[in-house]
Structures are given as C-alpha cells and as structure tokens.
Amino acid sequence: MRKWIKTPLAILADNADGGVVVDGGKIVECVAAGAEPDAPVDATFDASSHVVIPGLINTHHHFFQTLTRAHPSAINKELFPWLQSLYPIWAKNVTPETFRMGTRLALTELMMSGCTAASDHHYLFPDGLENAIDIQVEEATRLGIRMTVTRGSMNLSQKDGGLPPDSVVQDEDTILADCERVLSRYHDTREGARIQVALAPCAPFTVTKRLMRESVALAERFDCRLHTHLGETIDEDDYCLHHFQCRPVDYLEDCGWLNDRVWLAHGIHFNDDEIRRLGHACVGVCHCPTSNMVLASGQCRTRELEAAGCPVGLGVDGSASNDNSNLMEGLRHALMINRLTYDAASVTHHDTYRWATEGSARCLGRDDLGSLTVGKQADLAMYTLDELRFSGSGDPLAALILCGAHSADRVMVGGEWTVVDGDPVNIDVEKLRAEHGAAAKRFLEAL
C-alpha cells in the first residue's frame, strides 16, 4: 500500500519538501516541493502541520531502572556510590513481573518521544530472571518498535572485588550458553529486522577477560554486535590501572574488542591517542549527555571522536540516572552540553539529529535505518508545533530541539503507525502508569 506523507511543515531530508512515499515498509520516493509522486498512491496523510524527522534511535539504556527513578538512596551521587546504593535494592526486587513492567514503560516512553528503534543493555540476572531477554523481545514485539536486545552479563561480584552483589551475577558457562541460545532464537540479520541481538558484558570491572574474549568469538560466529560501558568515569580508569596495569582502552584491545562490531557507552575519559585508535578501528560511541550530567561523569569528546572515524550515537542511559526515557529531550541536552564543551557555532541542531539517527544506526550496524532516503526503512517521527513552547519559533527543525519538544504526535515503524495523536496504538498508557507505579512501590519499601 503506497502512502504519501504529504507536504510536511518541515522535513529532515534532502529534496523532500513535498514529503515521502512509503510502500512495503520502505521509503520508495522523496517528493520535491510542489511535485506529485511518480506513481499513484493508495493513501495520503496531510503532514502540513507536522515536522517530520527520521525515527530516533536509542543506543544505550537500562530499562529496569525505570522502577528506581529519583530513588532516595541514590540521588546526588556519582556512579560508583550510586551503583553501590542501588545494587542491593535491584537484587531483591527485580523479578520477571517488575522487569516486564519496567521494560514496557521504557519502550513506551521512548516511542512516544519519537524513537523507532532502541537498544537496552541488560546485565542483571538474579535467580528467576534467566529469561529476561525473552521478556524484552515479547514487549518490543507487542509495542511494534525495533529493538537490539543485548544479552548483558556480569560474573565478578563483591566476593571477587567487584561492585555487584553475588546474587545478581552468573558464571561464565551459564552466560555463554544463554548468549548462544538467544542469538540462535532471536538474532535476525536480514534487512528490515525488527529484533536483533548483541552481546554486552557490563564493564571491565564486572566481567572476566575470558568472558570478554569468548563474547568476541560468538559475535563473529553469529555476525552480531558487541557492546559495553567504557570510559565513563575516572574511577574506572583507576580500577583498570590497579587491577590490569593498563587503561580501559588498552584492556579493551587486549580482549580483542578494538573492531567495528563494537559500540561503547559513554566514552568520556579517552585521551588523544585512545581516540585515534578507536577511530582507526571504527568503534562506535554512544553519547549519553543527560546521565553524564546527572552523575557528574564528564563530557564526551564527540567532535574529536567523529573526526577520528568513530560513529557517534545517542542514548538516554538508565532511567535511574537520567531520570526518564525521552530521547528527544536527550537531543536538547546533547546540544547544550556540547556547546559548553566546544562553542555555539561548532555544534548545531543538525549535529544532534545526526547523532540520534544516522550515527545511532551506524552504532547498531543498521545501514537500513537512520535517514529519510529512498530504500531505507519507513521509520519516522512527526511533531506538531501547537504547544505554547513553540509559539514564535521560526525554524521548525531547530525549534524541536531549542524549544524543547518531548512528545511525538505520530510515529511510524516499517510503514505502520505505532503512535497516533500522541498515543501508542498498542498500549493503554493510563493502565501502564498504574501497573508500573504499583510495581515500583516495592523498590521504595526496600529502604
């Protein structure tokens, strides 16, 4: 069915002022201003009041953390003490039921903000949550959003000198067996895939070197991506120097992770030589501006990373360190912190759009996503400018970021509407709010 998204108020695409035509889940034509589609269409959507952009792509998150937003035990702390405060609470209260609610809410919130694809870094596996990845696939499929589920892992706990409690880690063989299981069951390498799988050992201070290296072997065997946290805090540098006698990037290279399958979360504390090496290997970096500011972790060197050859994407990070799952808000934060890092002329709204779309798609290894061009998947987000915050705005594309858009009016994934008039088509938001709020109460009662 050929659908014409007709004459948008503004569109983030070249030579498409007349809109785009969608058919078979793909963009099949970009229509110039004042022109008609080359072939007849079956349906037309009048987009004259909408700003149309490629669907946003979130490349780093921790969905279960929606259950501990602004938690009294963790607010006003930096990363390591923040983790030490929350790990015991998560260990006792993340069950299949609460995990499902956390995942459902995070995905819904992301999609309502304009996300069409998301990646979650799930690494917490207390007893009973062995099927966490299956739950996430079910929830993403239900909602209609694309997802790269990452089979995360931790196998170094407090007894080994690590941060997490013993009850949330697994042994190497259990982890590797389940990685192979979820890859075999869910990883789809075809164009237009709705679900893909990546392997994601949590961080150098929570996994063994063998697990890092075996993950590389599995990734090559199944042709999947690799993900981990790296370069987020100075504490991480100190930990690696103390335990491995090298810096985090050196350790990454020693584990065989300096290659173009890899994308890293945060990537703040890299020196010039490390940036050069990461760029030469085409390692991606997910910039998480909001959580970096909340936890006072530092400022990612986005311009240097891109110049070196690293794909740079955007992520909201965990909803307990953000404390939401709104990627459109993350674009505004990315613009502001990068202007503070560099200057106003060097970082524009077009840069933040690029990071959240094309850059994020590259991080996930998705050359079929990330732009409104012929042949790409028909994933798009549409916003109106009828709120008071937009009154007086001149440039509609700039206004979405500078004036603080946070909610899409329409979202399309693979040619199908998943958000209509601001509401997801497959989720009762009021019911979700009540059920998630009830599930989250036990995390406060744990105080």
Is 144 found in the same domain as 97? yes
Does residue 430 sit within a domain? Answer: no
Is 163 found in the same domain as 90? yes
pTM of the model: 0.97
Is 167 found in the same domain as 21? no
Of 317, 340, 363, the domain-final residue: 363
Q: pLDDT at position 163, please?
A: 80
> Mind listing the pLDDT tens digit for each residue in 390-409?
999 999 999 999 999 999 99
Does residue 441 sit within a domain? Answer: no
Domain count, the chain: 2
Does residue 114 sit within a domain? Answer: yes
Q: pLDDT at position 334, please?
A: 98
Q: pLDDT at position 356, please?
A: 98
Is 82 found in the same domain as 37? no
Q: pLDDT at position 158, please?
A: 87
pLDDT beneath 50: ranges in the chain: none
Does residue 432 sit within a domain? Answer: no
What is the overall mean pLDDT for the chain? 96
Q: pLDDT at position 161, please?
A: 79
Of 363, 388, 410, the domain-final residue: 363
Does residue 245 sit within a domain? Answer: yes
**What would the 3-class secondary structure string for the chain be?**
CCEEEECCCEECCCCCCCEEEEECCEEEEEECCCCCCCCCCCEEEECCCEEEEECEEECCCCHHHHHHCCCCCCCCCCHHHHHHHHHHHHHHHCCHHHHHHHHHHHHHHHHHCCEEEEEEEECCCCCCCCCHHHHHHHHHHHHCCEEEEEEEECCCCHHHCCCCCHHHCCCHHHHHHHHHHHHHHHCCCCCCCCEEEEEEECCCCCCCHHHHHHHHHHHHHHCCEEEEEECCCHHHHHHHHHHHCCCHHHHHHHCCCCCCCEEEEECCCCCHHHHHHHHHCCCEEEECHHHHHHCCCCCCCHHHHHHHCCCEEECCCCCCCCCCCCHHHHHHHHHHHHHHHCCCCCCCHHHHHHHHHHHHHHHCCCCCCCCCCCCCECCEEEEECCCHHHCCCCCHHHHHHHCCCCCCCEEEECCEEEEECCEECCCCHHHHHHHHHHHHHHHHHCC
Is 258 found in the same domain as 317? yes
Does residue 305 sit within a domain? Answer: yes
Does residue 371 sit within a domain? Answer: no
Is 299 found in the same domain as 273? yes
Is 359 found in the same domain as 291? yes
CATH number of the domain encompassing residue 8 = 2.30.40.10
Q: pLDDT at position 339, please?
A: 97
Is 212 found in the same domain as 122? yes
Is 80 found in the same domain as 116? yes
Q: pLDDT at position 90, please?
A: 95
Does residue 335 sit within a domain? Answer: yes
Q: Which domain holds residue 304?
A: 56-363
Is 180 found in the same domain as 218? yes
CATH number of the domain encompassing residue 190 = 3.20.20.140
Is 268 found in the same domain as 236? yes
Is 145 found in the same domain as 195? yes
